[in-house]
A and B are shown apart, each in its own frame.
Chain A
Amino acid sequence: MPHDHHDHLSPSGHPFRPDNDSPLTYWQQMEIAVRELLIEKGVMTPAEIAAQIDAMDARNPANGAAVVARAWVDLDFKARLLADAAAASREMGFDIGPLNLIAVENTERVHNLIVCTLCSCYPRNLLGLPPDWYKTREYRSRAVREPRTVLREFGVELSDDMQVRVHDSTADMRYIVLPARPAGTADLTEAQLAELVTRDSMIGTGLPRNAL
């Protein structure tokens, strides 16, 4: 067995696709060749590549959830988040890179949904890599045309008087949804609140969990 299986366990506990043991594909062959050429040419080191993968693995929706929970308990922070989501996230120690990041707030009257119709732009620094469905033709095409139907496929039923705003991302300008704080959570701590914040609630295809 390749040692890589042990070094890179799935963060979600699901098995990886069995790529390491199945026959080498043309594209895997190209990945190895490109990586080795970059190393041989002195462009990058194996340690840099491993560190980048570790950094990426460390980014997951818990980062975004921490930002959301902070906004729920700290109104000054929330104001800063809505004014400049990248700067507010950096306050909490998250590396956002040079992106413009815009937080859009769900309220009793407005529900926000994010998409990238042109490719797959996503707030990866706060949520990790996008789920496969986010990158599909079906989601990219339909989210901007029939968002209520799309939301229903994700199990989100909105009342007719709820306004839906769909935000189309670009490589340089990405969105994250600030979901509405669930009712009955007045007694919860910031950490307990973060547990209620799902990945999909920050994309807009879901809602936060209800407090137990």
Chain B
Amino acid sequence: MKGRLKLSLMSDIDGRRWHDMGGQPAGDIPMEGHDFALWEKRVDALMVLCGGKGLFTVDGLRRALEDMGEEAFEKHSYYERWIASVNQNLIEAGTYTLEELALKMQEVAERGPSYAEAQTDG
């Protein structure tokens, strides 16, 4: 099963993984952009600080991002994928457990319906 899972993550044509996009056909470049929201900047800051403290590396970040597959790339925004990867790396590093995360996420959701209200310092 494990071997089959790995194979399914590869392209069936040339052995490339999905994120290896150089040279593939694609449409016009979307030029619209956005300024980063506070929560996105916080995700970026968490990654940089965790890296600086040796909890995981940029390679660890990318491994988890690439293993999410193409569907996650299409469906979720850049920093949504980053926080998922940061979280996975921290759980793997033993910084906290999945149970601790679940409890904390529930606690956060119970504080209020918006991002601001869900902060302890909101």
Q: Evaluate whether A20 and B114 lie within 8 angstroms (CB atoms) in the complex, with A29-B108, A118-B19 already known.
A: yes
Residue B27 at the chain A interface, CB threshold 8 Å: yes
* The 6 residue pairs across chains A and B that have the minimum distance between CB atoms: A117-B22, A2-B116, A52-B45, A141-B26, A33-B104, A19-B37
Interface pair B53/A44, CB less than 8 Å apart: yes
A42-B2 Cα distance, complex, nearest whole Å: 36
Q: Evaluate whether A4 and B59 lie within 8 angstroms (CB atoms) in the complex, with A131-B33, A141-B25, A153-B29 already known.
A: no
Smallest CB gap from A34: residue in B: B87
Interface pair B115/A24, CB less than 8 Å apart: yes
Nearest Cβ on chain B to A170's Cβ, whole angstroms: 10
Smallest CB gap from B20: residue in A: A118
Q: Which residues of B contact A (CB under 8 A)?
A: 19-46, 48-50, 53, 55, 58-59, 62, 65, 73, 76-80, 83-84, 86-87, 90, 95-96, 100-101, 104-105, 107-109, 112-122
Stretch binding the partner chain, chosen from A73-81, A103-111, A132-140, A177-185: A132-140
Digit string of A13-31 for contact with B (CB within 8 Å is 1, else 0)?
0111101111111011111
Smallest CB gap from B53: residue in A: A43
Partner of A37, one of B22, B40, B95, B122: B95
Contacts A/B (CB < 8 Å), 23 sampled = A4-B38, A4-B116, A22-B114, A24-B115, A24-B118, A27-B79, A30-B84, A31-B46, A31-B83, A34-B46, A34-B83, A37-B101, A53-B44, A56-B48, A115-B22, A117-B22, A132-B30, A132-B78, A138-B26, A141-B24, A142-B26, A144-B22, A168-B22
